[in-house]
Chains A and B, each alone.
Chain A
Amino acid sequence: MNTKENIKKIIVKKPLKLDCGRTINNYPLSYETYGNLNEKRDNAILVFHALSGDQFVAGTNPITNKEGWWSYAVGPEKAIDTNKFFVICANVIGGCMGSYGPSSIDSETNKAFSTNFPVITINDMVKAQYNLLDFFNIDKLFSVTGGSMGGMLALQFVANYPDKTKTAVPIACTASHSAQNIALNELGRQAIMADQNWSKGDYLNTTFSPDKGLAVARMAAHITYLSQKGLQEKFGRKLQERDDLKFSFDADFQIESYLRHQGSAFVDRFDANSYLYITRAMDYFDLTKQYNGNLSDAFKKSKTKFFIISFTSDWLYPTSENKEIVIALNAAGADVGFIEIASDKGHDSFLLDVPDFLKSVKNFLEANY
């Protein structure tokens, strides 16, 4: 892994009162940008990453040396065309790619915060990132967008700052985490905490790390990002580099090998405590409750033009949940478009080469620019 020292970051001086009651200040927020801000400063798109993402949206991630997580969508001439738009993405607070998170050093103890880091929310993340508008001297964004948790962040952004973005494209998300979402996140957290190396969260002060727990969490989560049909078509019962079953617990099947690889690759780039904090933030997300049971009120003041996108095979954030956002927007008289993209690639569709999806994002952004 490369050093994280060269990551771009701002130090936010302005105090931020978190939903949990604690106040933070002088905290780092790391970010990356693509394309150029135009003279009118009206072509900026704030992209929010999902649970396991980071600020490296496109090109080569300098830390992992892999492609940025949204390389299919962001780049010159792509759906989010960096020849036209100035794309900003920040690592969420609670994350582990340079922003203030559980692996940051607590100046009082000179040790990593670990589980002494405050529990943060989607709202806290958005408030922290709002400081980027000041930093880049942008009065109004052209768009906010993101998939999954990124979509939730986009919704929260418009709710908090109704006149600060011209458009919003929340993708494959929800206005409130369902019991199924919470259950699946809890499974991941329990896998991490069941790993003895987690050491009650204090592993950064030991020579071990809860790699196995984090890998299992990632394996379980990864299944939820795919679809039954997609899995069956890609893997079926194909065997992994062998002609027959070995009557053992090795990875006989390709799907087992694939998941193990996903798990171990994730451990190299992600911090276990960050996984706990970010999944918790997602679970706490309930925009409907924030507005006293009426989601429409979240968008009442907004002139933002929305485009909501869901995927047919996404069972993690299904179309029905995305449509609830559309219904609330309609009830508030907001300007909203909606499409359900046909795809067998499950929740992960927004990260993959799904031409209908990429085309609709591009068409929406360019027709409204």
Chain B
Amino acid sequence: MQESELYSRFGQLVRQHRERLGRNQAEIGRASGLSRASIANIETGRQRIPLHHLYALARALRVDVHALLPVARDATPTTTNREIQSAVALSAREQEEVAKVVGFISARAS
């Protein structure tokens, strides 16, 4: 992943979590000890933050730090270890079925 893409994806995650909480940039700035301008710059990927700011942001956004870290997408996935995404949480049984179907179809596609 390009450095710029990494920061812009990090920024998107920050913005999504902030919007989920229904907070504006100034409020998250105050809660994390950063300025509103910093939050705005972080969200657009223009500001590259130090590690301790990551923890402060995660605290302000009430998420684990991992929730703000972009997942590397440049690794080539095998048929079975692809990430499964869904707007509604899947049960373990459903996840298992999805993995099975994807593996099955991938093995036969072209």
Partners in one complex: no
- A interface residues (Cβ-Cβ under 8 A, vs B): none
Interface residues, chain B, with chain A CB atoms under 8 Å away: none
